[in-house]
Amino acid sequence: MNPQQLKQISKRLSYVLRHRPDSVGLELQEGGWVEVDQLLAALAQAGKRVSPEVLDEVVRDNDKQRFEFSEDRQQIRARQGHSTEVDLGYQPADPPELLYHGTATRYLDSIMAEGLVKGRRHHVHLSTNRETMLQVGARHGKPVVLWVAAQQMVAAGHEFFVTGNQVWLTEHVPPEFLGVDE
């Protein structure tokens, strides 16, 4: 399968597993999991046939590692980014001193006034990787990378979580913990 086809399947999986499982007649189970065979059957019923081998390829080769299989490979879920009500079961984790967030320059005034807000998602997404965050920001316009004083936030009582693909999550980043990465 060519990269563009795999990308389209990845986008469809993101939509189903993060935002609208009901769009193919599914409900997320505890932890955001869905039975793989039920997912494949639901996608086929909705006109998007995906083989188990292609699903494996999408999960394995997704550049952001958005999806994961359960240990027995019978279930699949999105690791983060949900707009649906789901508890992914992540435990609080101790972040590094600094984390980074990518955005577009046109959002800077609002962010510096309100901080980073989760919007329709469950958490604000952060990374230890500046380059990845620059790419994320570029999706929305002229990119800028912000640093987040994560350890200072922890000292002030904020919690962080980390996913299996090393995305750091928090509820909100107040503006006093933010700066523009030069």
Query: Are the CB atoms for 164 and 69 separated by under 8 Å?
Result: no
Q: Where in the chain is the domain with CATH 3.20.170.30?
A: 98-180
Beta bridge partners of 161: 92, 169
Looking at residue 136, its pLDDT comes to 86
Confidence at residue 182, expressed as pLDDT on a 0 to 100 scale: 77
Whether 101 shows a pLDDT value over 90: the answer reads yes
- For 46-60, the pLDDT digits (tens) are 999 999 999 999 999
CA angle 46, 49, 60 (to 5 degrees): 120
Q: What pLDDT shows up at residue 77?
A: 95
pLDDT per position as a tens digit, 130-171: 998 899 899 889 999 999 999 999 999 999 999 888 899 999
Domain(s) labelled CATH 1.10.10.970 in the chain stretch across 3-78
User: 106-126: per-residue pLDDT in tens?
Assistant: 999 999 999 999 887 778 999
Sheet of strand 98-104, all strands in order from the earlier edge strand to the far edge: 98-104, 143-149, 178-180
Domain 98-180 has CATH 3.20.170.30: yes
> What rounded mean pLDDT belongs to the chain?
93
Q: Which CATH architecture has domain 3-78?
A: Orthogonal Bundle (1.10)
| Model confidence, pTM | 0.73
Predicted local distance difference test score (pLDDT) of residue 45 = 94
